[in-house]
Structure 1
Amino acid sequence: MTSRGRVAVAALLIVGAVAYSSWLLEFVVDTEIDPLRGFASELAATDQRYGALFRTGDLVAGCTVAVAGVLGLWRYSEGWATAIGWFALCVFGVATALDSRMPMSCAVTSDPLCAAREDSGQLPLSHELHAVTSTSASTGGVVSALTFALAACLYGWPRWLTLTGAAVSAVVVVGTAWTLAAAAIRGEHDVWLGLGQRVQLLAFSGWLIFVSLSVLHVTGENDGST
Structure 2
Amino acid sequence: MRTARWAAVILVGIGVLAYSAWLLEFVLSTGLSPLHDPAWRLLTAEPVFRTAHLVAGIAFLFGGPPMIRLAPVHWTGRLSAGAITVFGAIVLAETAFPGNVVIEVLTNLAFVAGCVGVVLWWPSRWRTFAAIGLGLVLVTWLGVVVLGQFGPDHFLGLLTRIQLLIRAILLAAGVAYVLRFTPGGSHS
In the superposition, the TM-score normalised over structure 1's length comes to 0.73
User: Residues of 2 paired with 1:139 and 1:185: CA distance?
Assistant: 23
Give 1:12 shift.
1.3
Q: Which amino acid aligns with 2:38?
A: F
Distance in 1 of aligned mates of 2:129 and 2:181: 14
How many angstroms does 1:149 deviate by? 2.3
Cα displacement string for residues 12-68 of structure 1 (whole angstroms, at most 9, x for unaligned residues): 1111111101111110111111111111111111xx3x1x11111111111111111
Per the alignment, residue 39 of structure 2 pairs with 40
Deviations 1:168-210 (A, max 9, x none): 32322222221122113325xx541111111111010011111
CA distance in 2, matches of 1:16, 1:219: 23
Structure 2 partner of 1:165: 130
Question: Is the aligned partner of 1:205 residue 2:168?
Answer: yes
Query: Are residues 194 and 200 of structure 1, via their aligned partners in 2, closer, same or farther at CA, if it must alter by over 3 Å?
Result: same
1:186 aligns with 2:151: yes
Name whichever structure is richer in helix by fraction.
2
Separation in structure 2 between the aligned mates of residue 151 and residue 217 of structure 1, nearest angstrom:
15
- Is the contact between residue 76 and residue 219 of structure 1 (CA under 8 Å) also seen in structure 2? no
Provide the C-alpha distance between the structure 1 equivalents of 2:104 and 2:92, rounded to a whole number of angstroms.
10
Deviation at 1:97, TM superposition (A): 1.0
Which residue is equivalent to 2:8? 9
Aligned equivalents of 1:201, 1:180: Cα separation in 2: 15
* Equivalent residues in 2 for 1:130-149, closer than 5 Å: 130-149=100-119
Is there any run of 5+ residues in structure 1 with no aligned partner, and where? 104-126, 222-226
Relative to structure 1, is the Cα distance of residues 185 and 205 closer, same or farther in structure 2, using a 3 angstrom cutoff? same
CA contact (8 A) 2:4 2:67 kept: no
How far off its partner does 1:98 sit? 1.6
- Cα pair 2:9 2:175 within 8 Å, conserved: yes
Q: Which letter maps to 1:70?
A: P
Give the letter aligned to residue 175 of structure 1. T
The answer to whether the 8 A contact 2:4-2:69 is kept is no
Larger radius of gyration: 1
Deviations 1:111-135 (A, max 9, x none): xxxxxxxxxxxxxxxx6xx332232
Cα displacement string for residues 131-173 of structure 1 (whole angstroms, at most 9, x for unaligned residues):
3223222221222123212212xxxx262x2333233323222
Give yes or no for contact 2:60–2:84 (8 Å, CA) kept in 1: yes
The alignment partner of 1:167 has SS state of helix
Confirm or deny: 8 A CA contact 1:10 1:215 kept in the other structure.
Answer: yes
Report deviation, 1:216: 2.3
User: What amino acid is aligned across from residue 118 of structure 2 in structure 1?
Assistant: F
CA distance in 2, matches of 1:15, 1:176: 25
Q: Deviations over 1:95-122 (max 9, x none)?
A: 101211223xxxxxxxxxxxxxxxxxxx
Scaled by the length of structure 2, what TM-score is found? Answer: 0.87
Percent of matched pairs sharing the same residue? 28
Which residue of the partner structure matches residue 95 of structure 1? Answer: 90
Code of the residue aligned with 1:144 in structure 2: it is G
Distance in 2 (CA, whole Å) between partners of 1:27 and 1:193 is 17
C-alpha deviations, 1:53-93, integer Å up to 9, x for none?
11111111111111111222234235211111122221111
